[in-house]
Amino acid sequence: MCCSLPVLSPGAPRGADGAFCSGNDALTTPASVISVLPDDDRRDRKLVKLFLAHLEAVRRQHWTALDFPEDRIRSREAVQVIAMEESGRTTAIEHILLDGFEGNVQDAQRFLAVFSPIEQDPSLRVPQFHVDVAVSVGVVPIAVDWRVLANGVRGWCARNIATASEGCSTYVIMVSGTPLKIHLEKICCPGEPGRLLITPLDPPSNFEAVVQDRLQRKLGRLVSASADQRVLLFEKDDALWSARQLRLELEAACVEFGDLDRINEIWMVDTVPWEAEEYLPFRLVLRNQEK
């Protein structure tokens, strides 16, 4: 996907945002609309195009045009991308990176050092399922060897993940006399390879503040976009939180951010395995059933 083709001919429909106006070099022909070009160095734009490619693969949505209102509109903050389908339906997409988390850095590094290798074990992955395993280590005595805990969690995963029911479930296991609470979320993602993610049971201490800060910055520009559908795409670039924690936070934020009701879908992309595995897991976090 490296070809660069001419822009669409004049006469494409225009919305209130000025979307799809002729002569915009961000608007491409159907063959190249979601191609990631060598000189396309903006990370958020690459992720949005790859997200659209994912939707095209799993939902058979065919994108015929892209527009980037933020490149043209200077009078106000504009949405990042608006994509058009063959039917003429448009979808506005806003990318949000969640970063800047605080907390005990030493504990976080120790958690990642002992638990992250479990995620890389292919024998623990279940094809076409995303499996999140959240482990409570906040009350583990200082004298306990975390490597022993990790081995206990690995063994539990080997015995239970494949046969576990879809959805959410909670367990308590004993490892060397230490009780560990485990929250399991198993979600079917057709067409994707198996994915195992292990995170702390509790998100970073300022997780709520970071989510609300990003919503404050980004939600308004998405809601004001002239489009038929609206999608938020959260980027996860660390192993310290999960889709479940994001979903719970967004459900709680609906009280303060009423415009969340105007968003059709909220997705998450995990970019941690992007460079190592050249794989991007996309995950639907919330869908507004009324939209």
113-127 pLDDT, tens digit per residue, is 899 899 989 999 999
Answer yes or no: are the C-beta atoms of 124 and 189 closer than 8 Å.
Answer: no
Answer yes or no: are the C-beta atoms of 189 and 195 closer than 8 Å.
Answer: yes
Q: What is the pTM of this model?
A: 0.83
The C-alpha atoms of residue 23 and residue 25 are separated, in whole angstroms, by 6
Picking from 65-74, 218-227, 254-263, which range would have the lowest pLDDT averaged per residue?
Answer: 65-74
DSSP state of 241: -
Closest by alpha carbon to 99, among 237, 194, 231, 201?
237
The C-alpha atoms of residue 64 and residue 27 are separated, in whole angstroms, by 9
Q: Name the helix (H) or strand (E) containing 234.
A: strand 229-236
Mean pLDDT of 40-67: 89
Indicate if the pLDDT at residue 3 is higher than 90: no
Helices (runs of H) and strands (runs of E) counted in the chain: 7, 10
Residue 259 CB neighbour total at 10 angstroms: 14
DSSP state of 192: S
Greatest alpha-carbon pair distance for the chain in Å reads 71
Closest by alpha carbon to 17, among 76, 63, 64?
76
Which residue type occupies 54?
H
Q: Tokens 């969640």, residue?
A: 98
Mean pLDDT of 6-21: 33
Indicate if the pLDDT at residue 148 is higher than 50: yes
Share of the chain above pLDDT 70, in %: 84
Q: Considering the chain, what is the average pLDDT of its residues?
A: 83
Question: Helix or strand or coil: residue 30?
Answer: helix
Between 11 and 131, whose confidence is greater?
131
Which residue type occupies 36?
V
Closest by alpha carbon to 182, among 163, 208, 161, 206?
161
Q: What is the pLDDT of residue 290?
A: 67
Which residue type occupies 221?
R
- Supply 36's token pair: 């990631």
Q: How confident is the model at residue 7 (pLDDT cuts 50, 70, 90)?
A: very low
Between 158 and 288, whose confidence is greater?
158
- Supply 63's token pair: 């994108």
* C-alpha pair distances (Å), 32 with each of 27, 35, 91, 288: 10, 5, 18, 30
Q: What is the pLDDT of residue 58?
A: 86
Q: How confident is the model at residue 4 (pLDDT cuts 50, 70, 90)?
A: very low
Picking from 7-11, 23-27, 206-210, which range would have the lowest pLDDT averaged per residue?
Answer: 7-11
